[in-house]
Amino acid sequence: MSKKIAKVGLFVALAMIFSYIEAIIPWDFGIPGVKLGVANIVVVVALYQLNIPETAGISFVRIFLMGLLFGNVMSLAYSFSGGALSLIGMIVCKRLKLSVIGVSIVGAVLHNVGQLSTAAFILQSTAITYYFPVLLVSGLVTGFLIGILSYRVNKSLDKFSQNNNDR
């Protein structure tokens, strides 16, 4: 049990570090609101290394803590809605046996859909949906990149775990 708690704590810490790095490094893609989503590597990897409640806990604890430390109520609302929809979609896609890259792409796109839906609700306007094609393309690209990295990390962790079990 303590090993599992330590592993979850490590995943939360890594996700927070990646979020913080992404927040302080000005990644300017020239498109407002578009970011790489490096912390999602941790969530995608956790989805394959841990169980669903632990993965959900990692995702939501990171969102909550980063919101408290560096955000506000609005950023929490956007992050929670994007994170929840993304996680649900990734869980479904993993169960449907999509590749890690496919799961990551679906997660990235749904994260953008969740945030856009929240913005439309808060603004009481669907006019903001004009931005969806831009977010769709950015989600496809960033989801693909994060998926490749997540696949490689999972492969390394599986190999490491197998080597430790052989001893």
Mean pLDDT of the chain, nearest integer? 90
Would you place residue 111 in the very low, low, confident or very high pLDDT band (cuts 50, 70, 90)? very high
**Structure tokens that stand for 7 in this block:** 């592993």
Write b or e for each residue in 25-61: b if 16 or more Cβ atoms lie within 10 A of its Cβ, otherwise e: eeeeeeeeebebbbbbbbbbbbbbbbeeebbbbbbbb
More confident residue, 95 or 30: 95
Q: Is 91 exposed, middle or buried (0-12, 13-18, 19+ CB in 10 A)?
A: middle
Banded pLDDT at 28 (limits 50, 70, 90): low
For residue 167, pLDDT beyond 60? no
pLDDT at 125 over 60: yes
pLDDT of residue 155: 94
Mean pLDDT on 81-104: 97
Mean pLDDT on 63-76? 90
* pLDDT attached to residue 71: 84
Instruction: Give me the mean pLDDT over the 124-152 stretch.
Output: 92
Q: What is the DSSP string of 69-96?
A: HH--HHHHHHHHHHHHHHHHHHHHHHHT
What integer pLDDT is reported at residue 2 of this predicted model? 85
CA atoms within 13 A on the CB side of 96: 10
Max avg pLDDT among 26-35, 83-92, 133-142: 83-92
Q: What average pLDDT does the segment 45-70 reach?
A: 94
- Contact (Cβ atoms closer than 8 angstroms) between residue 33 and residue 135: yes
Least confident of 3-12, 25-34, 122-131: 25-34
Shortest CA distance to 138 belongs to which of 27, 4, 5?
A: 27
The predicted pLDDT at position 160 comes to 83
